[in-house]
C-alpha cells in the first residue's frame, strides 16, 4: 500500500469461505490433525487453528470451509494450502482446486484528527448513519456503493468492513473522506 493517501490503512482480518472437498469425515480429521478440534455439542464443524500463518478455519462435513484471521492475501493462500495439505494428510480426498473466495475484509484507518460525532450526525441527518453513544461509542455509517460499513470513533480512528477486496475498502474510504470534508 505505497499510496500515501491510504498510508494508515491496515487489513486487520480477512474472512473467506468455500469448498475444499466433496465431504469430510470430521472425526477422522480431528483424530489425525494436531490443533484440530471437534465438539459437536457446541458447534457442527471442526475448528482447526494453524500457527503459521496464524489463522483459524472452520471445517464442515459437507467439505465447506471458513477461513479467518489472515491479514493479507498471501497469508490467506498460504493458510488455505496448510489446511488442504493437513486434510489430505489425514487421508481425506480434496478437490483438485479449492473453491474459496473472500467474503469480508476488516480494515482500520486513522484519519489523524479528532471528530465531533454529534456534529457529523446533525450535519448529515441521513438514514444510513446510526449514532447512539449510550450503547456504542462509535458512529455507524453504511455506504451503499461500494457496500461498506464504517465505524467512526471520535479519536479519528475508523474501522471499515464489508469489502471483498482492498479496492472496495479504498473506495469506501474515499466516500467517507468526501462526506467528512465539509464537516471536520
* Residue 3 pLDDT class (50, 70, 90 cuts): low
What percentage of the chain exceeds 70 in pLDDT?
98
Q: Is the pLDDT of residue 2 over 60?
A: no
* Stretch(es) of the chain classified as CATH 3.30.310.10: 14-103, 111-181
CB atoms within 10 A of CB 79: 24
As a CATH number, domain 14-103 is 3.30.310.10
**Helix H segments across 62-141?**
73-89, 117-124
Q: If pLDDT is split at 50, 70 and 90, which confidence band does 125 have?
A: low
Give the burial class of 31: count Cβ atoms within 10 A of its Cβ; 0-12 exposed, 13-18 middle, 19 or more buried: exposed
pLDDT (average), residues 121-129: 81
Whether the pLDDT of residue 26 is over 60: the answer is yes
CATH 1.10.490.20 is right for the domain spanning 111-181: no
Confidence of residue 1 (pLDDT cuts 50, 70, 90): very low
Q: Mean pLDDT across the chain, nearest whole number?
A: 94
Q: DSSP character for 168?
A: H
Question: pLDDT class for 182, splitting at 50, 70, 90?
Answer: confident
> Grid cell 481425506 — which residue?
92
pLDDT of 110 over the 80 cut: yes
CA dihedral over 139, 68, 11, 112, signed as positive or negative:
positive
The Cα–Cα gap between 135 and 122 comes to: 18
Region of residue 148 (left: phi > 0; alpha: psi -120 to 50; beta: else): beta
Each residue of 66-106: pLDDT tens digit? 999 999 999 999 999 999 999 999 999 999 999 999 999 99
pTM over 0.75? The answer is yes
Can you list the alpha helix ranges (DSSP code H) found in 5-90? 26-32, 73-89
Amino acid at each position: 500500500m505505497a499510496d500515501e493517501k491510504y498510508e494508515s490503512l491496515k487489513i486487520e482480518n480477512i474472512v473467506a469461505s468455500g469448498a475444499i472437498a466433496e465431504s469430510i469425515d470430521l472425526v477422522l480429521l480431528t483424530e489425525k490433525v494436531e490443533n484440530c478440534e471437534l465438539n459437536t455439542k457446541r458447534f457442527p464443524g471442526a475448528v482447526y487453528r494453524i500457527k503459521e500463518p496464524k489463522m483459524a478455519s472452520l471445517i464442515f462435513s459437507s467439505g465447506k470451509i471458513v477461513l479467518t484471521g489472515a491479514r493479507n492475501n498471501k497469508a490467506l493462500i498460504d493458510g488455505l494450502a496448510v489446511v488442504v495439505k493437513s486434510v489430505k494428510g489425514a487421508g481425506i480426498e480434496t478437490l483438485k482446486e479449492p473453491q474459496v473466495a473472500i467474503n469480508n475484509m476488516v480494515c482500520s484507518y486513522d484519519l489523524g484528527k479528532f471528530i465531533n460525532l454529534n456534529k457529523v450526525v446533525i450535519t448529515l441527518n441521513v438514514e444510513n448513519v446510526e449514532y447512539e453513544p449510550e450503547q456504542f461509542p462509535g458512529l455507524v455509517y453504511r455506504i451503499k456503493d461500494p457496500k461498506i460499513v464504517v465505524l467512526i470513533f471520535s479519536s479519528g480512528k475508523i474501522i471499515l468492513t464489508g469489502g471483498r477486496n482492498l479496492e472496495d475498502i479504498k473506495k469506501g474510504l474515499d466516500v467517507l473522506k468526501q462526506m467528512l470534508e465539509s464537516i471536520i
